[in-house]
């Protein structure tokens, strides 16, 4: 009987922990969405945050490399090949900082492409939370294959 009671207490604790995590995830996703507004790209604005031990250790949005003109599209309205994705910007920013992303969570407004998925895996990121699906799922599939915890939270509910 005592054992059962202890178990249910543990269950409730786990439930509370989950609920707290969901609230945090939604807040970080909303922040990533606001951060995307920094992007000067016209076709799509993507934002992301890298969080470790409840601290934001990096951030990114899609755009051209430092020192380049702040225009993402060419005269045909196609995205220039040297535009960096939000995730690539956030991860490479860490390379110039004292932080590292080992075990971190990445919050991204949009489903990552396969190139960014590779970077996320190699950066030691363990969890991804995103809020907009993309027609291609190869990035998400790769992350799942690498054992990364992938969480989708619909844009409308965050």
Q: Which of 113, 119, 143, 148: binder of Zn ion (CB under 5 A)?
A: 113
Q: Which of 85, 89, 108, 148: binder of Zn ion (CB under 5 A)?
A: 85
Whether residue 104 contacts residue 124, with contact meaning beta carbons closer than 8 Å, is answered with: yes
Check residue 72 for interaction with Zn ion (CB under 5 A). no
Q: Which helix (H) or strand (E) holds 33?
A: helix 2-36
Q: Which helix (H) or strand (E) holds 95?
A: helix 86-95
Nearer to Zn ion, 22 or 79 (CB): 79
Nearer to Zn ion, 25 or 139 (CB): 139
In the set 13, 15, 87, 115, the catalytic residue is 87
The piece of 4-12, 21-29, 110-118, 124-132 that touches Zn ion (CB under 5 A) is 110-118
Q: Could you tell me which of 121, 158, 127 has the C-alpha nearest to residue 50?
A: 127
Write down the least CB distance from residue 113 to Zn ion, Å.
Answer: 3
Q: Which of 41, 116, 120, 142: binder of Zn ion (CB under 5 A)?
A: 116
- State how far the Cα of 39 lies from the Cα of 121, in Å rounded to an integer: 24
CA distance readout (Å), 41 to 129, 132, 134: 22, 17, 17
Residue 82: phi and psi, rounded to 5, are -95, 10
Write down the least CB distance from residue 87 to Zn ion, Å.
Answer: 6
Active site residue 15: no
- Helix then strand count (H, E) for the chain reads 4, 5
The piece of 25-33, 78-86, 92-100, 122-130 that touches Zn ion (CB under 5 A) is 78-86
For the chain, give the number of residues.
158
By CB under 5 A, name the binding residues for Zn ion.
Answer: 85, 113, 116
Q: What amino acid positions are annotated as catalytic residues? A: 87
């Amino acid at each position: 009987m005592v054992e059962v009671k202890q178990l249910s207490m543990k269950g409730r604790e786990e439930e509370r922990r989950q609920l707290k995590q969901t609230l945090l995830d939604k807040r970080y996703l909303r922040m990533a969405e606001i951060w995307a507004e920094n992007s000067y790209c016209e076709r799509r604005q993507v934002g992301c945050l890298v969080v470790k031990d409840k601290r934001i250790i990096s951030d990114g949005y899609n755009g051209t490399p430092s020192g380049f003109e702040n225009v993402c599209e060419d005269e045909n309205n196609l995205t220039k090949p040297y535009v960096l994705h939000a995730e690539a910007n956030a991860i490479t920013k860490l390379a110039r900082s004292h932080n590292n992303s080992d075990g971190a969570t990445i919050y991204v407004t949009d489903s990552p492409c396969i190139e960014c998925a590779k970077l996320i895996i190699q950066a030691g990121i363990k969890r991804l939370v995103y809020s907009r699906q993309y027609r291609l799922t190869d990035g998400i599939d790769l992350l799942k294959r690498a054992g990364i915890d992938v969480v989708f939270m619909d844009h409308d509910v965050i």
